[in-house]
Amino acid sequence: MLVKKLKERFEELDGKEIMLQGWVRTNRNSKKLGFIELNDGTTFSNVQIVYLDDLDNYKEVSKITLGSAIEVKGIVKVTPEGKQPFEIQASSIDVLGASDHDYPLQKKRHSFEYMREIPHVRPRANTYYAMFRLRSVLSMAIHRFFQDRGFVYVHTPEITGNDAEGAGEVFTVTTRCDGKYEEDFFQKHAQLTVSGQLHVEPFALTYRNVYTFGPTFRAENSNTTRHASEFWMIEPEMAFADLSDDMDVIEDMIKYCIRYVLENASEEMAFFEKMIDHDCITRVKKVADSKFERMSYTEAIEHLKAAKDQFENQDIFWGMDLQSEHERYLCEQVVKGPVFLTDYPKEIKAFYMRLNDDGKTVAACDLLVPYVGELVGGSQREERYDLLVSRMQEMGMELEGLQWYLDLRRFGGCKHSGFGLGFDRMLMYLSGVQNIRDVQPYPRTPRNLIF
Ligand code: 4AD
Ligand code: MG
Query: Is 229 a member of any domain?
Result: yes
Q: How far is the CA of 71 from the centre of ligand 1 (A)?
A: 45
Instruction: Using the predicted structure, report yes or no on whether residue 182 has a pLDDT greater than 80.
Output: no
Residue 111 resides in a domain: no
State in Å: Cα 420 to ligand 2 middle.
Answer: 8
Looking from the CA of residue 436, the nearest atom of ligand 1 is 25
Q: Tell me the average pLDDT across 162-171.
A: 81
Structural domain of 192: 122-438
Gap between the Cα atoms of 317 and 319, Å rounded: 6
Residue 166 has pLDDT above 80, yes or no: no
Q: Is residue 446 part of a domain?
A: no
pLDDT at 164 over 80: no
Q: Which CATH number does the domain housing residue 73 bear?
A: 2.40.50.140
Is the CB of residue 218 below 6 angstroms from any atom belonging to ligand 1?
yes
What confidence category does residue 163 fall into, taking pLDDT thresholds of 50, 70 and 90?
A: confident
Last residue in a domain, options 36, 64, 97: 97
Say yes or no: 132 and 65 in one domain.
no
User: From the CA of 425, which ligand is nearest?
Assistant: 1
Give me the number of domains the chain comprises: 2
Q: Are 416 and 209 in contact (CB under 8 A)?
A: no
Residues 6 or more apart whose CB falls under 8 angstroms from that of 359 comprise none
Q: How far is the CA of 179 from the centre of ligand 2 (A)?
A: 39
Instruction: Give the closest ligand to the alpha carbon of residue 422.
Output: 1
- Atom 18 (ligand 1) nearest CA: 422
pLDDT surpassing 80 at residue 91: yes
The pTM of this model reads 0.96
The pLDDT value recorded for residue 111 is 95
Residue 59 shares a structural domain with residue 138: no
Q: 138 with 177, same domain?
A: yes
For residues 159 and 219, membership in a common domain is answered with: yes
Residue 310 belongs to domain with CATH number = 3.30.930.10
Q: Is residue 112 part of a domain?
A: no
Q: Whose CA is nearest to atom 30 of ligand 1?
A: 227
Of 14-18, 166-170, 414-418, 439-443, the one with minimum mean pLDDT is 166-170
Tell which residue, 216, 157, 179, 174, has the closest CA to residue 440: 216
Mean pLDDT across the stretch 306-328?
94
CA of 423 to the centre of ligand 1 (A): 9
Q: Residue 106 falls within a domain, yes or no?
A: no
Q: Is 236 in the pocket of ligand 1 (CB under 6 A)?
A: no
Q: Are residues 297 and 368 in the same domain?
A: yes
- Ligand 1 atom 19: residue of nearest CA: 422
418 pocket-lining for ligand 1 (C-beta < 6 Å): yes
d(C-alpha 377, C-alpha 340), whole Å? 9
Q: Which residues contact 95 (CB under 8 A, 6 or more apart)?
A: 60, 64, 68, 69, 70
User: 213, 231, 430: which to mutate for ligand 1, most atoms within 8 A of CB?
Assistant: 231
Confidence of residue 32 (pLDDT cuts 50, 70, 90): very high
Residue type, 290: S
Question: Looking at ligand 1, which residue's alpha carbon is closest to its atom 22?
Answer: 422
Q: Look at residue 175 and tell me if it is in a domain.
A: yes
- pLDDT tens digits, residue range 97-155? 999 999 999 888 899 999 999 999 999 999 999 999 999 999 999 999 999 999 999 99
One domain, residues 35 and 126: no
CB atoms within 10 A of CB 125: 18
Residues 67 and 149 grouped into a single domain: no
- Predicted local confidence at residue 236, as pLDDT: 98
Same domain assignment for residues 82 and 154: no
Same domain, 93 and 126: no
Shared domain check, 430 and 380: yes
Same domain, 126 and 77: no
Integer Cα distance of 218 and 166 in angstroms: 11
165 lines ligand 1 (CB under 6 A): yes
Q: What are the tens digits of pLDDT across the range 41-88?
A: 999 999 999 999 999 999 999 999 999 999 999 999 999 998 899 999
Kindly give the distance from the C-alpha atom of residue 62 to the centroid of ligand 1, in angstroms, as a whole number: 51
Identify the residue whose C-alpha is closest to ligand 1 atom 15: 422
Residues 284, 247, single domain; the answer is yes
**Complex confidence, ipTM:** 0.99
Closest CA to 167 of 212, 219, 214, 215: 219
Give the distance (Å) from ligand 1 centre to CA of residue 93: 50
Residue 67 lies in a domain: yes
Q: How confident is the model over 9-22, as a mean pLDDT?
A: 97
CA gap 11, 22 in Å, rounded: 21
Q: Assess if residue 449 is contained within a domain.
A: no
* Ligand 1 atom with the shortest distance to the CA of 376: 17
Ligand with minimal distance to 367 CA: 1
